Structure 1
Amino acid sequence: MQSAKLVSYLKAISKKKLFYVLAAVALCIAGIFFWKAQSQPAAAIEMIPLVRTAVVGAAGELKSYTYAGEVRGRYESQLAFQVAGKIIKRNVQLGSVVNAGDVLLEIDPKDLKQTVNSSSAQVRSAESQLKLTESNLQRYRQLYSQNAISQAQLDQYENAYEVAQAAVQQASAQYGQSSNQLDYSRLYADTSGVISSINAEAGQVVSAGQTVLTIVQNGEREVEISVPENRIEELRTALQLTISFWALPDLKVNGKVQEIAPMAASTTRTYQVRISLLNPPPEIKLGMTAAVSLTSAGNQNVNLTSIPLSAIYQTNDMPGVWVVTDHTAHLRPVQISGLDNNQMQVTGLLPGEIIITAGVHKLREGQKVRVSDGDRQ
C-alpha cells in the first residue's frame, strides 16, 4: 500500500517538472523571437519633400511695375524774407489761392523804420554840408579871381565840395537801402498759385533767407515717385505710363518721365522721379495720392527665359535646373546667357514649365516632390 502511494507521488512530481521545463523552454523561444524583432531595423519610410517652385516666364514678355506717388506742381517756389524779424501777421492759409503781388506775411517793421529815419537824417545832414561847401567854394572863387588867395587854397575848397557831394551820394544810397529793407518786411507772392506749405507762424522770429512758405504755380501738374536704382533704366524705356488716383478710382491719365534726380536720396537710397501728367482734368488736386503703373519690355530674344538665381544647380561645369513633371524632379541642363536683377537669363527651358527654386542641392534625379498650392500658377 505504501509502495503504491510512493509511485503515485513520484509520477506527480515528474509531471510538474515536465510542465516547468516546457514553460521555461517556451519563454526562451518567445524571448528569442522578441529580441530578433527588436534588433531588426524598421523599414525606412520615404518622406516626400515640399518644394518651392516657380513657373518659367519668357524674358521677352512685358513687365509691369507700380509706384506710389503724390501730385505736385511743375514749378514750386520756396519763399523767404530778405530781412530778419518777428512775424506779426499771416494773411494766407494752407491751400489758399493767391495772385501775384498779394501780401502773404509781414514782420515787425519798427527797427527797420528807425533805420530809415536815421538814414533820412544822414541825407539831410550831408545835403546841408554840401550847401555850406558850395557857398564857400563860390566865395573863394571870387577871391581867387581877385588874386586875394592862392591856387592851393582854392583847391582845398574844391576838394571839400567834392567830398560833400560824395557824402550826399553815400547817405542817399544808405537811405535807399534802408527803404528797401522796410519794404522787405512784407512778403509778396511773386506769381499766382496755391500755398502748399507754411513753415512759420505769427510770433515766430525768422532769419533772412529762411523758408517760410511754398507756393505752387498755376499750370502743369506732376506726380513725384521714388524709384530704386535697379529700375531706373526700365523707367527710361517704359512703353507706357498710366497714373491712377486713390480719390478718383475711375480716372486714369497717361504720363511721361519729366526728370530723374541725378543722385539717390541719402536716407532711402532711391531716386526721385517726376512724371508729367498729359492733359490732366481739373479734378486732380495737389497732394492727391497717385499710383504710377509702367509697362516695360524685357529682352526680346524669345529663346531666353528668366528664372531666379537660386534655381541653378551646378554639377561640375554644367548648370542645370530641376524641372517638376508629374510631381517628379528631373534635372534639365541649361545654358546661362546673363544675369539681370537676380534673374538668370537661360536657354533650355520652355515658358510655363515648373522649376524648383529652393533647396536644389538636396534633390536627386527622379525624386518625388510635393508642390505647394501657393506656388502653382
Structure 2
Amino acid sequence: PSEAELEAAKAAVRSAQAAYEAAKAQVAMQNKDLRLAEINLEKAKSALEQAQAAYDRVAHMPNVAMLPQSLQLQQATLDYEAAKLNYEKVLASLNDTALQSAYAQLAQAKAQLESLENTPSEEDIEISRAQVRQAEVALEQAKLNLERATLKAPFDGFVESINVEIGQTVNAGLPAVTLVNLSSLEVKADLVEVDVAKVKEGQEVRITFDALPDRTYRGVVKRIGRVGSVVQGVVLFPVMVSIENPDDDIRVGMTANLEIVVGKVENALLVPASAIRSVKGNQAVLVKRGESIKPVPVKVGLSNETMSEIAEGDIREGDEVVVGSPASTQRRENRRAFFGMPRLRRR
C-alpha cells in the first residue's frame, strides 16, 4: 500500500477504536446503573420483608394502626416501590443502539483487516486483529445487554391472561402476563390450635375435591405456620400441603378436603371410640366376662372419630365391649388414625 493508503487506514483504525471505546464506556456505565438499581431494589425488598414480619407479629392487636410497625411497613412499601420504579426506568433505557454500532465497527475492522492482508505488514495485521477482537467483545456485550432487556417467564406454565398490547404505554408495576404453574400445586388450609401440635412437616395427606369425587390424590405437609390468627374466636394456623400427583383436571380455586395421617400402628387392637369411658378418673372399657360386665382399665393409643386403639389393658380380640349395645373388638392391619380437616380453597 502507498503511504497515503496506510495513513488513511490508520486514521480509520483510530476512528473505529475511539468509537469502540466510547461505546464500551457507555455500556459499562449502563451496566453500573442497572446493577446499582438492582442492589437498591434488593435492599428495599429485604427491608419491606423485615417490616412486614414485624407488622405481622402485632397485626392482631386492636391498635395496630397506631404502632410504629405500621408506619415502618408503610415507609418500607414506599421505598420498595421507588426502588422498583427506578430499576424499571434504568432497564427501559437499554436499547440496541450500542449493538448496531458495535456490529458496524466489527464489519469495518474485518474489511480493513482483509484489505491489509493483501499486502500486509505484521504490525498492520496485529492492529486489525486486535480491533476485531475488541469489536467481537463489544458485540457480545451488546447482545447480553439486549437479552437482559427481554421479559422472560421465571418458570414453565400456562398463560392465564395477557394484560398489555403491542405499542401500549404501561405503568410501572403493571403485570404484563399472568402465569399459572399447574405442575406444582399446593392446598392452603387452616388448622385449629388443638390439632396443630399433632401435624408435622412431611406427613402424608389424602386429598379429595368436591368437583372430582371419584379421585384421591397424594399430598405431603410442606409448611406449618408459626403465627396463628383468630377467626370468630377460634385460633387457626395456616398449613400448606403439596399435591404429589396432580393432573390436568385440577383447577386453581377448587375446594379441597384433606385427611392428614398423624400416626400409624400395625396389627392394632381396636374398639369403638364410644366404648372408652372414665371410671374413677381412669380410662376403662366395660367388657363382658361370662354373664357379668366388668370395667377393665386400658391405655388408649391412636384414635379417630369412630375407633380407638387399645395400647395396654386386659382385653383380647373377640371380647365383647359395651357401647350403645355390645360389640366385638377387631384386629386390623395397618390401621391409620386421621384428623378431619375443614374444606378450604386454594388461593
Fold match (TM-score > 0.5): no
Choose between structure 1 and 2: higher helix proportion: 2
Task: Tell me which structure has the larger Cα radius of gyration.
Answer: 1
TM-score normalized by the length of structure 2: 0.39
